[in-house]
Every structure is written in C-alpha cells, then in structure tokens.
Amino acid sequence: MKFQYELRKSVRKTLAIEITKDGFVIVRAPVRCPQSVIDTFLQEKQDWILEKVEMQKKREEAAHQVRTLTDAERELYRRQARNVFEQKVKYYADLMNVTYERVAIRDQKTRWGSCSTKGNLNFNWRLIFAPAGVLDYVVVHELAHRREMNHSATFWKVVATYMPEYKKYRSWLKENGNLLHKY
C-alpha cells in the first residue's frame, strides 16, 4: 500500500473510504470483515485514494495561502464581479430567450446565486475568484429558474441545453467553494 490508513470497524454491511480534509485515509469496515478482503478492496481503490489524498492536500495548502482582503480590495472585486455578471447575464438571457429585472452582487454565506420570482438575480461576489466556466454555470443555473422555479428534471434539462458540461462546474463549486469563502 502506498498510503497509511486508520481502520475503523463497526456494525455495518459495506466497506467505505473516507479522506479527511487534511488528506488522511480512514477505512470503515464491518466488524467481521477479514483483513484480506480489506487489503484487496484498498488495492483496487489505490489509484482513486491517492488521487483524492493529493487533491485534499492541495486544497488545504491553497486554503492556507489565501490571504484576507482589505476593504478597498474587497470593494474592487465586488465592482469587478458586477461588471462580469452583468455581461454574462445579458449574454445568456438573450441566448436562453428569458428576461430578468436586475442583477445584484451580494455577500452571501451559503449561496452562490439566486433568482426571485420577479426575475431579480443575485450573485455572490466571491465567484470572481472561480474559473470562468463556473461563473457561466451559476448564471445559466439562475436564468434557468426564469423557466422553472424549482430543481426538477425539466429545470436541469434547461441548464444542460445551454451548458452541457454543467456537472463539471457544479462539482468544482462543491469541492472548492469553501476556499472562495476564505476571501
């Protein structure tokens, strides 16, 4: 094995792997699971485990490198975010043939964007630090709510129509969004 791990046995039916935020591997196994089965399982998953451990370590390093912004820098980024989102919203609204009322830039703690029933769009200014495709995804996601004010299968079809690779950007936000909140 090219990694160390902690084995935790409990009353469960399956084997599971947990990678902690600092890149440590925890293996959860049924109480009566033989070590040979665990070893085979880990050998089969080794490449995946090593990839995830490395990803977590890089994420932690990046989190420690993020510096706190001054009020002036924060305001500059908010203005930049406003310009970028206004352009992207206009472009995608025209493409998707939907209307909207206004674009607001917010300092939300739990949301990247939102769309009201009146068509007011809100975006988190911290997205300015994300890859451009992520910003496009959030804009398309919120504008799709102009057609479907829910997250039904129909809603996701609208999103996929205008951004077929949306799952990649959605995953990026889930995996890296916490780093954006460090600014």
Query: Residue 118: is its pLDDT beyond 80?
Result: yes
Residue type present at position 14:
T
**Predicted confidence (pLDDT) per residue in 44-76, tens digit:** 999 999 988 888 877 776 665 555 788 898 899
Dist CA 64 CA 55 (whole Å): 14
> Do 85 and 139 form a contact (C-beta atoms < 8 A)?
yes
- Specify the residue for token string 């300015």: 128
What is residue 63's predicted lDDT score, i.e. its pLDDT? 60
Mean per-residue pLDDT of the chain? 91
Distance between alpha carbon 122 and the CA centroid of its chain, in Å? Answer: 18
Q: Quick one: fold of 71-180?
A: Zincin-like (3.30.2010)
Q: What pLDDT does residue 62 have? A: 62
Distance, in Å, from the CA atom of 159 to the CA atom of 170, rounded to the nearest integer, reads 11
Residues in the chain: 183
pLDDT at 67: 58
Range in 7-11, 40-44, 68-72 with the lowest mean pLDDT: 68-72
Prediction pTM value: 0.66
User: For the segment 151-166, what is each residue's pLDDT rounded down to a tens digit?
Assistant: 999 999 999 999 999 9
Q: What is the mean pLDDT of residues 32-47?
A: 95
Indicate the domain borders of the chain: 5-65, 71-180
